[in-house]
Structure 1
Amino acid sequence: MANREYDYLFKLVIIGNSGVGKSALLLRFADDTFSENYITTIGVDFRFKTLKVDNKGLKLQIWDTAGQERFRTITNAYYKGADAIVIVYDTTCQQSFDDIEKFWLNEIESYAEKNAELLLLGNKSDLSTKQVQSERVQEYAQKRNMMFFETSAKTADGVEEAFKKIAIKLMAKRNQQVQDKRNKRKQQKQSSSSSLRTDDSQQYGDGKQDDEKSNVNLWANNSTEQAKQGQQCQC
């Protein structure tokens, strides 16, 4: 990372029902802090977090969106350009999980990038009043091709691991995209070189045929001249 703070920059957007702990998760991950006082997010908020993985710097720009319906027309614009969408539900609230299928996935399909990665977080795992069973969510996440973790913003359990895993996945995906582009350019270059060789071969072959035709005409002309001389009077 010489002369640079990071090697990769990724945008993440956190969504989910109001009160599931989106802001608490962001503060725990970005600033390692937690507050018992619940404050509703007005519109959007964001934080930066830099990680180091395999000697590479990963900088995450994480947007925290308001879950209340009156703010959704504002927050929809922040899906654009997101590399990953973090969907949060409350493990003690069944409705917050059910609304993922009923509402939030439709939002993602409507506004997010088609190839955005999905991370599903079941927050408040430290509470004993769990309503959403982990096994059910795990099956759902696999069906929907999501990474899944249970987390607690209060105790920090699972928070850093979840964000780090999605960051590593994004880094691998970016590397693969770069490699695919290199391979494509290489194939195009090889195809272009092959085409040039074919054209040269055709041009050389045409020249050879022209020479053979010229030789045939030359011999034909010589035979004609000899025949004429044979017909001349020898008196």
Structure 2
Amino acid sequence: MASAITSIPDEYLCPITREMMINPVILIEDGYSYEESFIQSWLQNHNRSPMTNNELTNRTYVPNRALKSLINDFISQKQILSHSLTEEFLSFRICTKPIISDWKNRPKIRIRLTLLGSSAIGKTVLAQCLKYGRWPQTMTLPTSTIGSDILFYYLDKLFRNEYVVAIQLNDPPGQEQFESVTNHFFRECHGALLLADTTRLETLDRLEKFWYPKLEKFGMDHFQSVLVCTKMDLFEKEDIKYRELFLQRSQQFAFAHQMPIVNISAYRGDNIDYLFKQLIIRIMENDILINDLINQAISSQKLNIIQQKVIPDIHISEKQKSKFTCCN
């Protein structure tokens, strides 16, 4: 990942010092990552989690290899100023409202994101949380997706001051009997959100054995992906040994495929906007992907212009209209 963001991503900062980590570790008890030396010092003087303030029953921590790899990549690239992602553009927000009317005739970049994972892991809830920020407590939780839901969003900033950016979020069904119909989502996927339910280890197994191999087989070249660990509010209540096992397995999976991990809670609204924003940035920083998207946008705009010229406005006079009436 070639990072062009001059500010440091929040996930790279130690929660204790708010400085970028060099040797990140995960505290098993709370699931958060810290700089190793600072969490060591913290644990010598405190018996509570720095993040949750809950009393610690286990002080074990393990290296966060996936995060360390991403930080090292960020450090090696941070001096490179992207020609395409300016500071102004990086302040974009993801909106559900229609694009600004003045942008109607501008070329449109269409980024397709797809939610992948087993049934009942929170894909549909996550898709709606992008709209609301968190799952509205007044709304009932949805049942398993039978068909394929498609949601559309827009960025409120123009890319390179020229291109409108539209986001298509695909939510295919996760049940096994529908898995064969998701192949076309793989082929059109620029960014994959691979979801694992932190309370069900088998959903991570399914990502490893089915979803990611299918994505590699049928997906486009240079797609971007992120491992999304859902239901962190419930994960914090799990047995310590289970949490340690899940964190270890998720780290191994993410490290093997060089993808970041984002822990979310739809119930609390944790990291929802951050998750989507970082994946969009990763896609737009990939030169091959963004050049293809720009070429498609330009071709689509040219086609629209040609169609408008081929089909001129038809103006019929009152005299001509009378010829087509049944009664004169």
TM tier, shorter chain?
Answer: 0.5 to 0.7
User: Structure 1: 5+ residue runs without aligned partners?
Assistant: 182-235
Mapped contact 2:116–2:195 kept (Cα < 8 A): yes
Residue 147 in structure 1 maps to residue 247 in structure 2: no
Mapped contact 1:53–1:168 kept (Cα < 8 A): no
Quote the offset at 1:62 in angstroms.
0.5
Give CA-to-partner distance per residue, 1:3-28, whole Å, 9 cap, x none: 24885320011110101100000000
TM-score, scaled relative to structure 2 = 0.49
CA distance, structure 2, for counterparts of residue 151 and residue 134 of structure 1: 14
Partner of 1:169: 282
* Amino acid corresponding to residue 160 of structure 1 in structure 2: D
Alignment counterpart, residue 153 of structure 2, candidates 39, 42, 49: 49
How many pairs align?
Answer: 181
* Amino acid corresponding to residue 183 of structure 2 in structure 1: N
Mapped contact 2:196–2:204 kept (Cα < 8 A): yes
**Structure of larger gyration radius:** 1
Alignment counterpart, residue 27 of structure 1, candidates 108, 125, 128: 128
Alignment counterpart, residue 37 of structure 1, candidates 124, 131, 141: 141
SS in structure 2 of the partner of residue 43 of structure 1 = coil
Mapped contact 1:92–1:129 kept (Cα < 8 A): no
Partner of 2:115: 14
Mapped contact 2:134–2:269 kept (Cα < 8 A): no
Alignment counterpart, residue 125 of structure 1, candidates 220, 232, 239: 232
CA distance, structure 1, for counterparts of residue 224 and residue 141 of structure 2: 31
User: Structure 2: 5+ residue runs without aligned partners?
Assistant: 1-99, 295-328
Give CA-to-partner distance per residue, 1:114-163, whole Å, 9 cap, x none: 32111110000111344454354234312212121001112110111011
Within 5 A, what are the aligned runs for 1:59-98? 59-98=166-205
CA distance, structure 1, for counterparts of residue 180 and residue 211 of structure 2: 13
SS in structure 1 of the partner of residue 103 of structure 2 = coil
CA distance, structure 2, for counterparts of residue 106 and residue 165 of structure 1: 23
More helix by share: 1
- Identify if the C-alpha distance between structure 1 residues 6 and 19 changes in structure 2 by more than 3 Å, giving closer, same or farther: farther
Mapped contact 1:8–1:171 kept (Cα < 8 A): no
CA distance, structure 1, for counterparts of residue 278 and residue 269 of structure 2: 15
CA distance, structure 1, for counterparts of residue 216 and residue 103 of structure 2: 38
Supply the RMSD in Å over aligned alpha carbons: 2.9
- Identify if the C-alpha distance between structure 1 residues 103 and 178 changes in structure 2 by more than 3 Å, giving closer, same or farther: closer
Mapped contact 1:13–1:84 kept (Cα < 8 A): yes
